[in-house]
Amino acid sequence: MSTATTATTTDNPLLQDWDTPYGLPPFAQLRPEHFEPALRAAMREHLDELAAIAGNAEAPDFDNTVAAFDRAGRRLDRIAATFYTLTASATSPALQAVQREVAAPMAAHGSAVYLDAALFARIDTLHAQRESLALTPEQRRLLERIHLDFVRAGARLAPAARLRYAQIMEDLATLTTRFAQNVLHDESSWQLALDGEDAMAGLPDFVRAAARQAAADRGLDGHVITLSRSLIVPFLTYSLRRDLREQAWRAWVGRGEHAGEHDNRGIARDILRLRNEQARLHGHACYADHALTDTMAGTRQAVQRLLDEVWPRALAAVEREREALNELRAEEGQAGGEIEPWDWRFWAEKVRQRRYALDDAEIKPYFPLERIAAAAFDCAQRLFGLRFVARDDIPVYHPDVRAYEVRDAADRVVGIFLQDNFARPNKRSGAWMNALRLQARNVAGAGQQLPVILNNNNFAKGSPGEPTLLGLDDARTLFHEFGHGLHGLLSDVTYERLSGTQVLRDFVELPSQIFEHWITEPEVLQRHARHWKTGEPIPLPLVERMQRARRFNQGYETVRYTASAIVDLAVHSLADAEPPADLCAFEAELLRAQGLPHGVGLNHRLVHFQHLFAGSSYAAGYYVYLWAEVLDADGYDAFTEAGSPFAADVAARLKRHIYASGNSVDPAAAFAAFRGRAPTVEPLLKKRGLLPEAEPA
């Protein structure tokens, strides 16, 4: 430990040993002012560890260089994971200020690690000798991945280019932090007050209850609609007040597009400009070419082929859906004018109720949050032998968070799971999984590093004394994130760099998306979907109606998703050093040229597209959900073919090859080992109702 670190351990809990159950962060002791000095001290400690590896007088070998590199920086990892968990899930102005302050230094630290010439020389030497080193397959995979990490971070650039590359990464870290904070500002500061019964016309009880709780969370009386997805989507679906629907919709799609301090338009352009320069330093014409070299797809052309397979089919499906909406509008005497974006969900719900006698207000009482979470736990036990045991003594950062000890079939503790399900003003939107600690066996001394996995959702909390009721989409979201969580919890690898979700970006969504299938299995619904008041199981006729409606409005949903993927790929495929002067105009013109139907819209506009601009993980990669859906639709068919959603042999293969292997195996080989062959696209098209013989939308 460095002298600087030692000097601060006595008064900074982040730099002391965490004497808590399973070594979780001592959240109750942490203050915003602890983080910057702790992060700086941990960065210095990490560099000292790496200097010892680079300066080792012995010739490089796997153990003294590659495995040692994988072990280095664990203190920094745990402090940074704690910090970024709080800035995402329970932030404050003080934490946001620290986040802005440390963004550039943290990026500079990453560059100092991966642009260390002496360290890379040792790794490069071993990489060149890898055929003759008698490595295990996992050791070779680790060497290859770490070597590629260095190369992609600029280790092979000329000295002047390395300096410029490091500056680019610092600037990007600052800009992406500002982008995310601007979106959070717009989401947390906007609200639509529903003054009186007229403003709440058409809203079912569950929406009213959520709006009342949202107001209470903000210290207000009455009811408010916020930009939380689990509140605004039901409002757009049920509200009879078209003027208020338009107002809410415009606020939702306008996040990040406001002149002034929180305007993301210039920030997004700056990010694109720097990414283009980053790609050119690597010898690529555009950022997409650089980003896609380390994916299953590999090239822009492969991604475009997938989008081209789906886009025209989705356009045809959405026009069939529009016809159904217009027929109903005509019947109700409202046939004049176009269906606007704030109208589509409203009329689609009416069609769904008429065609399938299906209404979310009928479904939701059978989907209380506690039961759906229990359903996810039960599926994990039946498939993989896991038990989730509630532990009230494990420290958490907010009263909303539930902590669980995760035990395997032999009753051994294999990890800790934290679930944070509710929307809050100080929490970013969306749903995600992250790790406070990754699974690994490559640790100092004996033993294993247990994973600590966190799921975040943003469900609208029910009123006091009443449960939080989920719609089917919310339930799918919970299962989706839980699938990511299982990917982290079931990881069974030696090296931290290969652990859990640290796989190629277009493979990472497979474990999450395939797990979604179980929430719609009739067997699971009958077992867990029970009325929150009576305890009665969901009626079989209702389950059958849900099954018949499973492809309803899929044209609309597919167009919205694919449109966002098209925009992402296009904007990151631009070869010009200077991005378009007006990104909003670029987006609108591109979608017009692609034939985006009026009234449908897209999932994310560039000005609030956090997948792309709050970090780089999904930049030029939003297509990955569709790519992974090819894998998950085909993969789940293995259970269908086996005759049971809990077929033991299929579940064992799924666990071993998909959930447990992390990045220790090439993803194409991992899928083939699970499925017995490469995937085909037909199950995806069938699932989304995009094949000619599929049930009409």
Condensed to tens digits (0 to 9), the pLDDT of residues 555-573 reads 999 999 999 999 999 999 9
Q: State whether residue 395 is helix, strand or coil.
A: coil
Task: Encode burial over 358-377: b for 16+ CB neighbours within 10 A, e otherwise.
Answer: bebbbbbbbbbbebbbebbb
Torsion of CA 621, 623, 629, 630, to 10 degrees: -100
Cβ-contact 256, 217 below 8 angstroms: no
User: Would the pLDDT of 421 be above 50?
Assistant: yes
Band (pLDDT 50/70/90 cuts) for residue 3 is very low
Cβ-contact 526, 537 below 8 angstroms: yes
The DSSP output letter for 104 is: H
Report the pLDDT value the prediction gives residue 689, as an integer from 0 to 100: 83
The percentage of residues in the chain with a pLDDT greater than 70, rounded to a whole number, is: 98
Pick the CATH number of 364-548 from 3.90.180.10, 3.30.365.10, 1.10.1370.40, 3.90.580.10: 1.10.1370.40
- CA 184 to CA 668: how far, in whole Å? 37
Report the pLDDT value the prediction gives residue 8, as an integer from 0 to 100: 54
- CA 268 to CA 251: how far, in whole Å? 19
Residue 136, Ramachandran bin (φ over 0: left; ψ between -120 and 50: alpha; else beta): beta
What are the C-alpha distances in Å from 388 to residues 308, 431, 629, 637? 42, 21, 28, 27
**Quick one: average pLDDT of 338-343?**
96
- CA 316 to CA 325: how far, in whole Å? 15
- CA 329 to CA 653: how far, in whole Å? 49
Band (pLDDT 50/70/90 cuts) for residue 692 is low
Domain with CATH 1.10.1370.40 in the chain: 3-156, 364-548
User: Would the pLDDT of 691 be above 90?
Assistant: no
E strand map for 220-321: 224-225
Q: pLDDT by residue (tens digit) across 615-650? A: 999 999 999 999 999 999 999 999 999 999 999 999
- CA 606 to CA 670: how far, in whole Å? 34
Band (pLDDT 50/70/90 cuts) for residue 695 is very low
Mark whether 481 is an active-site residue. Answer: yes
Q: Please identify which of the residues 45, 49, 481, 587 carries the catalytic annotation.
A: 481
Band (pLDDT 50/70/90 cuts) for residue 696 is very low
**Entry field: residues in the chain:** 697
**Quick one: average pLDDT of 465-486?**
95
Q: pLDDT by residue (tens digit) across 522-531? A: 999 999 999 9
Quick one: how many helices (H) and strands (E) in the chain? 29, 7
**Quick one: average pLDDT of 567-582?**
96
**Quick one: average pLDDT of 198-209?**
94
Band (pLDDT 50/70/90 cuts) for residue 75 is very high
The answer to whether domain 3-156 has CATH 1.10.1370.40 is yes
User: Would the pLDDT of 28 be above 70?
Assistant: yes
Report the pLDDT value the prediction gives residue 129, as an integer from 0 to 100: 97
Record the tokens describing residue 100, joined without a space.
């802005």
Report the pLDDT value the prediction gives residue 439, as an integer from 0 to 100: 98
Report the pLDDT value the prediction gives residue 207, as an integer from 0 to 100: 93
Average predicted confidence (pLDDT) for the chain: 94
Q: State whether residue 467 is helix, strand or coil.
A: coil
**Quick one: average pLDDT of 456-485?**
93
Q: pLDDT by residue (tens digit) across 154-167? A: 999 999 999 999 99
The percentage of residues in the chain with a pLDDT greater than 90, rounded to a whole number, is: 91
Report the pLDDT value the prediction gives residue 694, as an integer from 0 to 100: 47
**Residue tagged 């070597």 (tokens):** 147
pTM: 0.94
**Quick one: average pLDDT of 539-551?**
91
Report the pLDDT value the prediction gives residue 444, as an integer from 0 to 100: 84
Cβ-contact 603, 560 below 8 angstroms: yes
Cβ-contact 389, 21 below 8 angstroms: no
> DSSP readout, 176-243?
HHHHHHHHHHHHHH--EE--STGGGTT--HHHHHHHHHHHHHTT-SS-EE-S-HHHHHHHHHH-S-HH
User: Would the pLDDT of 582 be above 90?
Assistant: yes
